[in-house]
A and B are shown apart, each in its own frame.
Chain A
Amino acid sequence: MSMINYASREINCKLVYYGPGLGGKTTNLEHIYGKVSPNTRGKMISLATETERTLFFDFLPVDLGTIRGFKTRFHLYTVPGQVYYNASRKLILKGVDGIVFVADSQIERMEANVESMQNLYDNMSEYGYDLTKIPFIIQYNKRDLPNAAPVRDLQASLNPGWPIDDGAHQKVTPDPSHTGENLIDKVNNQWVGRAPYVEAVAVRGDGVFDTLKTVSKMVLKTLS
């Protein structure tokens, strides 16, 4: 739920990093925190257990710059990945403007990824939000690990696409980040849309800012 404050000339937007436990959501925020100038970010708040697992959320406010005289501030949140914490996870989604799904590329974590994605769809629909209509991006993290599944397989499981029935949107839309791939395409006589994706190694910072930039841009474009 973006909030425009005309008095202080600010646009505030909320991004949520979602995904299975130990997938790298907090690592994404920590990398951003470490790299962004202290002048353009606030304090990072982590509500974690004693073993540093996210209990409620991590929070990091970041200023991205000024557009039309409005300071654009993004509030980044992560949710706890463990299945057990669904009640608090759902609360964080309230008023979300954009979602980053951080998937763990390891083959062994495929089931956890799918379960978390399903949980995201369920929690969003309980709020009446349609994930296919709000800014949404998938980050395939841990691409450096030897047991990482091929992106093609991850895409097939986690980003198979949703039908596009609105004629106005039925046109082939190339994926600007992946040559030869399309975000909207006709497959077996059916128009299908997919979320953009980014490959990442969050511990090294690879792909972290690409993800943030892509989703922030999508959010701001919904206001234009």
Chain B
Amino acid sequence: MAGATSWSFSENDFKQIQQHLQAFLRDANARCALLVDRTGQLVATVGDPPQFDSAAFASLTAADFSANDQLAKMIGEPEFASLVHQGEKESMFLADVAKRVILVVLFDQRTTLGLVKLKGKGAVEKLNRVFAEMFNRVGAGPTAPEKGLLEGAEDEIDKLFG
């Protein structure tokens, strides 16, 4: 492999992801759910629009999850599939999805950690299936389906950089 593999998803994938997340938020009574890929890029946001810089939030989430992955290995665990950060009013629940993305749930006192975890488990299973299908569709694993997206766009690229 020359570099990191790229991936992309269609509008239909996006719709399915959003539907699962919306149902989950309703069931868990949580405020907001974000999907962040392991490299720190925001994939989707559902629920109350976040009042913070979501790009920065996504990069810190990925770093947090990666650091905890390494900590897990150090103590002899293959991974920590989920993480919880509890505050006085606002809390976060993070869970791995298909080893490629992280589900981040923001919730407050209107619900409980137990309910978020319970409903989160079901949501992760559904999302795992969506991502598995996405990856199967483009071959054995995540590939670069968008290769050639910018084919013939060299002029536009050159123009962008003056």
Contact = CB atoms under 8 A, between A and B. Distances in A.
Interaction A to B: yes
Interface of A: 1-7, 11-12, 14, 42-43, 45, 47, 56-57, 59, 61, 64-65, 67-68, 70, 72-73, 75, 77, 87-88, 91-92, 94-97, 127-130, 133-134, 213, 216-217, 220-224
B20 to A, nearest CB: 15
Contacts of A130: 1-3
Contacts of B38: 94-95
A220 B156 CA distance: 10
6 smallest CB-CB distances across A and B, nearest first, come from A95-B39, A133-B2, A134-B3, A4-B8, A1-B4, A7-B14
B3 A133 contact: yes
A125 B156 CA distance: 33
Contact of B160 (A65, A77, A94): A65
Contacts, number: 143
Interface of B: 1-11, 14, 37-41, 43, 53, 55-56, 59-60, 63, 66-67, 70, 146-154, 156-158, 160-162
Nearest to A224: B150
A159 B90 CA distance: 49
A67 B159 CA distance: 10
A14 B150 contact: no
B8 A6 contact: yes
A224 B148 contact: yes
A96 B150 contact: no
B70 A6 contact: no
A39 B160 CA distance: 17
A68 B3 contact: no
Given A43-B53, A91-B63, A224 B153 contact: yes
Given A61-B55, A91-B66, A1 B6 contact: yes
A128 B148 CA distance: 23
Contacts of B4: 1, 94-97, 127, 129, 134
Nearest to A92: B63
A73 to B, nearest CB: 8
B11 A7 contact: yes
Nearest to B11: A7
Given A7-B11, A68-B150, A224-B154, A97 B3 contact: yes
A190 B37 CA distance: 41
Contact of B40 (A14, A47, A64): A14
Contact of B7 (A3, A91, A96): A3
Given A1-B39, A11-B149, A88-B67, 17 more contacts: A3-B6, A3-B39, A4-B8, A6-B14, A43-B56, A61-B56, A67-B157, A128-B1, A129-B1, A129-B2, A130-B1, A134-B2, A134-B4, A216-B161, A223-B150, A224-B153, A224-B157
Contact of A6 (B11, B41, B59, B162): B11
Contacts of A43: 53, 55-56
B41 A91 contact: no
Residue in B39, B40, B63, B148 with the greatest tally of chain A CB atoms within 10 Å:
B39
A3 B14 CA distance: 13
Given A1-B39, A129-B4, A223 B60 contact: no
A3 B148 contact: no
